[in-house]
């Protein structure tokens, strides 16, 4: 079971919209995430820096690499782009977070 952790960055004033949009996540996006093998996905916010910290678990047979080409994912990224630091294709900028410690 691979685990992936990364950081993203919100823009000032975007906390409420970011939270609301995730509270109202599109059913087709939720289904897509499950279909590609993502589960137990959480995003945490550091309110003092507006940094988002995401942790997700992947099934061994995941197809995470297919997400960037999926129309639903692209539509979500376009929808979220005004709120976050993004790449030229509107994919959120991500900074990987290496595992330093784990307690099972």
State the catalytic residues: 22
70 burial level (CB within 10 Å; 0-12, 13-18, 19+): middle
d(CA 5, CA 58) in angstroms, rounded, equals 11
CB 79 within 8 A of CB 21: yes
Per-residue DSSP letter, 4: E
């Amino acid at each position: 079971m691979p685990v992936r952790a990364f950081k993203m960055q919100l823009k000032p004033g975007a906390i409420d919209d970011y939270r609301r949009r995730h509270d109202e996540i599109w059913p087709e996006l939720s289904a897509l995430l499950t279909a590609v093998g993502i589960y137990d996905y959480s995003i945490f916010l550091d309110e003092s820096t507006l940094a988002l910290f995401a942790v997700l678990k992947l099934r061994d047979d995941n197809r995470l690499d297919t997400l960037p080409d999926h129309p639903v994912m692209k539509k979500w990224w376009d929808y979220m782009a005004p709120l976050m630091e993004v790449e030229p294709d509107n994919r959120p900028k991500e900074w990987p977070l290496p595992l330093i410690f784990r307690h099972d």
